[in-house]
Amino acid sequence: MTWWIPLRSLLRNRRRTLLSVAIIALGTAISLFVFGFLEDSRLQIQATTVDEYGNLQIASPDLWDDTTEDYNYLITPETEAQIRQLLGRRDKITGITSQLQFPGLIAAGNQTQVVRITSQVPENDTLNIDAFVIAGRPLRTSDVASVLMGRSLANRLGLTVDDVVTLTLTTVDGAYNATPLRIVGIYRFTSEQVELRSLFMPVAFAQRLLNTSGVDRLIINLESISATNSEAASIQRLLDDAALSFEVRTWDDLSPFYKQLSGFFDILFGFLTLAVFILVFFIILQVLTLAFLERTREIGTIRALGTTRGEVLGQLLLESGWLAVIGSVTGVLLGFALSLGFNALGIQWQPPGTVETSVLSVQIGLLIALPPFGVSVVATLLSAIFPAIQTSRLRVVDALRVE
């Protein structure tokens, strides 16, 4: 019965209760909506980054630190086979492929462009770029002197499928090499920088051009992004135990852009949370202070009937607790409704640095609702402590004198 007394007090003062609930609900709904939007943006960027880098990459520390200008960091076929054998029994790994990247200069007519050649095994399931090809065809294992070119670079150079460019590069021995390449396909990617600077070719042909049999990295795909850090640590231990001097890098290690953007999102949501907390705290503090002040005579009567100060304080805090829960739950439901309505609009925009539009959307779920719900509840309860303590300490005689 004790739990329902504070609720009845709230129902008795409906206008003030509705005002308080509306303030708490508004703050919760805004916070939930923004948090859901930021989280959805973060997940989209995660997926794009994993599409580009894979979940994990294994390479020499010299490659990661960029401390050598030659190709001493290459992984030999024997070492690659040893690493694959070590990783072959790990359940969370869904695919492994090799890659060899190197810089080059392409020429088309009187135009030149510095590019990074990314060579990999065609038709592999680990880092499959076939889905990004929008003109021509994907690479095939049998292809020789064939490349995929980004749409942005093709447009800049005025090239299309079946056009030929000349690639100039330096082999692992330091000699110059040049070869004509036929564009068999045009690909698109979310990042304009990738489209402008990355060409794809079969790794076997790239090894012939560089006069090597090695690769510079192994790329690993996992069953879920959430397993990335734990698998990276486990694989690093396996490599160390096998006396293999290679380092494992995660997809977020390889993408400074993601780390910067994720940090910005965290700061943005932190400021929003602080603003909502301050808004709810001070407005509810003022409302409850006035509400408890108006009930001074009522409190005095309750005390005169034998209720202790602690019991009065408990009832006032319970009343604030009901207010916090009702307002926060209402805010969560309102936030979900706003998010569903926003998602239904299907608003499209083009993020900076990208070439493709994406649909703006808001993540919806209990995990998204917990932070805004918790902030509103805590802010409401904290704002009630001072006026509740002050009211419970009133002397009975003084409280009964109040008109």
Our CA dihedral for 361, 364, 369, 372, rounded to 10 degrees, sits at 10
Q: Do 210 and 275 lie in a common domain?
A: no
Q: Is 109 left (phi over 0), alpha (psi -120 to 50) or beta?
A: left
Q: Do 237 and 272 lie in a common domain?
A: no
Question: Average pLDDT in the 141-149 region?
Answer: 93
Question: Average pLDDT in the 136-141 region?
Answer: 92
Question: Average pLDDT in the 169-190 region?
Answer: 92
- Which of 250, 283, 303 delimits the end of a domain? 250
- Domain count of the chain? 2
pLDDT tens digits for 257-283?
888 888 888 898 888 888 888 888 888
Say how far apart CA 350 and CA 49 lie, in whole Å.
17
Q: Quick one: pLDDT band at residue 6, thresholds 50, 70, 90?
A: low
Instruction: Give me the pLDDT at residue 45, please.
Output: 83
Q: Do 139 and 24 lie in a common domain?
A: no
Question: Average pLDDT in the 333-340 region?
Answer: 95
- Looking at residue 278, the DSSP 8-state letter turns out to be H
- Return mean pLDDT, the chain: 86
Q: Quick one: pLDDT band at residue 3, thresholds 50, 70, 90?
A: low
Domain hosting 117: range is 55-250
Bridge partner residues of 117 (DSSP): 102, 199
Q: Do 198 and 262 lie in a common domain?
A: no
Q: What is the pTM of this model?
A: 0.77
Question: Average pLDDT in the 230-254 region?
Answer: 93
Q: Do 211 and 118 lie in a common domain?
A: yes
- Looking at residue 66, the DSSP 8-state letter turns out to be T
Q: Do 8 and 63 lie in a common domain?
A: no
Q: Do 166 and 284 lie in a common domain?
A: no
Q: Please provide residue 352's backbone torsions phi and psi, each rounded to the nearest 5 degrees.
A: -60, 140
Q: Do 95 and 124 lie in a common domain?
A: yes
Res 353 pLDDT > 60:
no
Q: Do 177 and 208 lie in a common domain?
A: yes
Helices and strands counted in the chain (H then E): 13, 12
Instruction: Pull the structure tokens for residue 132.
Output: 């990004």
Q: Do 63 and 43 lie in a common domain?
A: no
Q: Do 197 and 108 lie in a common domain?
A: yes
Q: Do 265 and 389 lie in a common domain?
A: yes
Q: What is the 3-state secondary structure (H, E, C) of 175-206?
A: CEEEEEEEEEEEECCCEHHHHHHEEEEEHHHH
Long-range contacts of 240-248, Cβ-Cβ distance < 8 Å, separation of 24 or more: 242/82, 242/86, 244/79, 244/82, 244/83, 245/60, 245/61, 246/58, 246/59, 246/60, 246/61, 246/75, 246/83, 247/58, 247/59, 247/60, 247/61, 247/64, 248/56, 248/57, 248/58
